Every structure is written in C-alpha cells, then in structure tokens.
Structure 1
Amino acid sequence: MQLAESAQVKQITVAKAKGASFALSPIDPLDFVEECHRQGVLAIPSALTSNECWALHRRGTRLIKLFPAGLLSPAILKSMLDITPLGENLNILPSGSVTPENAKKWLEAGAAVIGMGSNLVGKDVSFHPGTEDFNKARADWQATGRSTAEKVFKELVAV
C-alpha cells in the first residue's frame, strides 16, 4: 500500500510541472497534503467522517472531498457542519452520487462546491474513444446530457 501511495504523491510533481493548481484524491495518501503544500498545489484529499475531515483540516487542508458522498446525505453534511468548530472551518466538496437532481441540496446543506463526474458530464469519460460503449455514451450525452448539464448550471448559479 505504501508504494502505491508513494507513486500517487510523486505524481503531484509531474502534475505541477504541467500546470496543475490542485490535486484531487479518492483517499488521503501518506504525505499527500504535505507534498501538495510543498509544491504550491491545493490538496483535495478525501474523508468520510467528521473526525477524518477535522484531522485533514488540522493538517492545513483547505478543501476536503467528502467521498463517497452517496453513503451520506445533504442532511448529514448539514448536521456535521452545524457542529462548532466544523462548520466555521471546513470547506467540503461532496463527490460520488452527487447528481443533477440533488446538487442544489448539497450546496444548501453547506457544501463549498460539488463534484458530479459522470453524473453530469456523461459516461463516455469511462470508456475508450471509438468503442461501442463510448459511442453509446457519447450519443446519450448529445441527446440528453448536455441539456441536463446546462439546466443544472443555470439553477446552481442562483444558489
């Protein structure tokens, strides 16, 4: 496990050299936050519980990916952020099962930003270009996905 985490941390240097200003992770690899700070890159590690979020905050994390958010709910996020000192100090980015239908609820619950991935941009990001699955996903994006995304963006601008 430590080797995989070490490789992920080494990618921060490569990403920074290519112009990255932030690094997003589905976990909290060893030294991830600290290496991001050394490189001048915004670290966005993941946590699920209030204790994990608070521990990341104490290490200087400015934005925490709540992942997988689908295991929680906007109501649980609101309850978590209503507890002092959490809500005064944490910037949370729910990701994983955030959808166009529940995006506004996450923001109203106190999320700083939201991550929607394929629930917003379409499933074609998961397939190799040119494959049958990719072509089906791309057709779905063109038929319904783009208009859904435009609608969500318009709604969320008002939040």
Structure 2
Amino acid sequence: MSMKGRFPILRTLQYLGQGDIVFKESVKVMTVNYNTHGELGEGARKFVFFNIPQIQYKNPWVQIMMFKNMTPTPFLRFYLDSGEQVLVDVETKSNKEIMEHIKKILGKNEETLEREEQEKKQLSHPAHFGPRKYCLRECICEVEGQVPCPGLVPLPREMTGKYKAALKASAQD
C-alpha cells in the first residue's frame, strides 16, 4: 500500500497490530454515534480516526457501524449475542479514556489472552507440517537428516522410480 494520503501510517500492519482491545466472543456489533463538530465530541472523533481501525483489525468478527451527526451526545452501543445492549457515554472523554473503559468492561483480560496465545503456540508444534500460516515447517525435507526434496536436490539414481521399474523389467526378462 502506498504511503499517500492523510496519516498513511495508520494503515500499516504494525500500527493496526498495536491495538490492545480484543473483545470477548459475546460482542457481535459495535455502533459509534458521534458528531463531526463541537467541543464535547472531540474524544469520540479521535477515537473513530485513530482507534477504530485497530479494533477492526484485532476483532474481525465484530461488525462496526458509524453514525455521524445523528445524536446530540456521542456514545457507543455494543450488542451482545445474548440480546443485551451495553451503552457507553463518551461525551467528555478523550480517546485514551474511551479505550481504557471499553477494555475494562468488554475486553478480554491479560490472562485469557496469554492462555489463548499458549494454545496457539501448541498448535504450531515442530512435528506438524503444512502451510507456514499454521505450521513451522512446510515439508519433511526441512528437518535435519531427512532426504531433501527432489525439486531442490536430485535424488540418487537408485531411489528414482524409473530406475526401480527398469530393474524389475530386467529381472523378469
């Protein structure tokens, strides 16, 4: 992605990954109601501009909807899978205060995040093979002491299928 436009650093993976809010699984929809003008909604505007992309990146299963200039006071509403709604007033708060408050009431705690990280690491065991996205090794040939892939290093003639078939054919004659 090109580094053009307003605040291009906000679109980098490094910036998006720095967000520290990971919602609980029960959060399904988040709505942000804010105004584009006025002193009281400054924190909400900064929250939308700087922090919403990070929240979207860390929580792809959460639908986020923005409502501009439709409310007298800015607020956030969360819809949970149990049908409950959580309303958060953000009228005089800064974007950092909003982030801390949301993390405290609807974010996963540090122990849960660490436990999930450990479970993810257990899935990437050195004995598993597959795509790099899920496993540490793509092929058995990457293990020390194994026969290398024939695409990288040619096999010895005795190990090829053509040679073995020719040996069988000559033995039958």
Q: Please tell me the TM-score bracket, short chain as reference.
A: under 0.3
Return the index of the structure with the highest Cα Rg.
Answer: 2
TM-score calculated relative to the size of structure 2: 0.22
What's the TM-score, normalizing by structure 1?
0.23
